[in-house]
Structure 1
Amino acid sequence: MPFPPPRPVTAPAQPLPLRFRRPDGWPEPSSDWVAANQGWEPPAGWVPVEGLAPAPAGWSWWRRDDVGWSAVSAAIGARRRRGVMVDAVVFAVGAVLTLIPATLHLDIAFVFWGAVVFGPLSLARTLAGMRHADRTTATLVRSRAAEVGQTLDRVAYADHVTAAGPGALALEAFLARRRIEAWSQTGSWPADQEHDGVAERFRITDDPRLSRRHRAATVVFALVAGIVLVAIAADAYAASRAGSGATPAAFEPPAAEHDGARPSG
């Protein structure tokens, strides 16, 4: 009997940021339900299907997946760190170019009020965001979960309408049945309860359009700062030339005027 052909090795799918902790005796929820309810805290006494005992008081419903959570929080942290660097550089350059003319007593003056005023505010906001990185990550995960849930419901209902035809359920009735079907004592669910690629919806990627806008803004700021720096240097050079051309005679008191009259006495 010939050996089967080798299968290509694929990278494992990204896990979800949070794992659901079901109380003892509860069935396993489907992967779609877990993805659509990431971080959701059920009210006291909530049970997914009838006949189950409520969870103990103070039950912790979720725990972080080391890989899935890091995939989200690390991307957010990288964005925050880049933001801190950009804000600090913009403020420093704006402050220097604002103070140089005043320090050298030049005839020209530039006030980069946007960089001087909003730079520290943006820097403080970014630093505060880094301090609350876990809160930011949790908020983002819940927001993505809501979007994923709406998408999965819409896709599952479209498949149901196509398969059932005239006998399709109304949307509300279908969603109610789908929520019950998401819990299985045997660990097997209908096909519409497990969609591929759901966890990838929680992957944080850089928006190339946003990167282009940042690059364009950086180039514009650099050009303006360069032009101002050249103007400051030219004004300082002109001032130094004017100062070096003055002679001591210019600072002597004017000589007494002689009208030809002899002094009396």
Structure 2
Amino acid sequence: MGSASLVLFARLSGLVIAVLVVYWALLLVPHQGLTYSTLHPLLMVIGFILVSGEAILIHRWLPGSRKTKKAVHLWLQGMALVSAVFGIWTKFQYQSGVFSNFYSLHSWMGLLSVSLFAAQWVTGFMSFWHRGEVRTTRTTFLPWHVFLGLYTYGLAIATAETGLLEKLTFLQTNKNVPRRCHESTVVNGLGLGLVLLSGVVITAAILPKYQNSHSGNEKLVYSSQDRPKCLTS
């Protein structure tokens, strides 16, 4: 599967996930509406995961210079970070106390993934606007930036999966929904969609680019530091 096909598949998967999470949060649960409880999955799935995934794919499809791609990547990641911060903020709005909702594995993983994401964004911002660093230092840091970026994205997906499982288990334990019902199917479908999306996005990020040479043969495209351009940021 080529790069363009992976990007298209990721976009279609993201669209299905967005529709499912909106349907589940706003339409499937009766008389709930737009509350802190429904804002949390909307912000974390659409605003954080889908937008950050799109930022990862920027280097695969956006035309223009490397500087332009890095700028768009940076600002999309900034939007994702703002959504994540507000998504966590919604969990502080319950009457039972500030830290009462941060006791589970889901909450701990969420705090870790957002903290790592924030650190990644700050280092990316500093690297983009301050170009006086020694080139060897930037080259050495690049693989770690890529690794931590993909690791954080995968951690965010895993956090969302634990959140879906936690919510569904809570509803079934309290007999609000039966084990086999329409809502369970939607939540399980959302979880599978997130797993599929993460695989497509990460694959698109790590595969080297190909282009046709003048001889008609395909060749790998590398940057001046002998690193794949698709991994630069």
| TM above 0.5 | no
Q: Which has the larger radius of gyration?
A: 1
Higher normalized contact order (CA 8 Å, seq sep 6+, divided by chain length): 1
For normalisation by structure 2, the TM-score amounts to 0.24
More helix by share: 2
For normalisation by structure 1, the TM-score amounts to 0.21
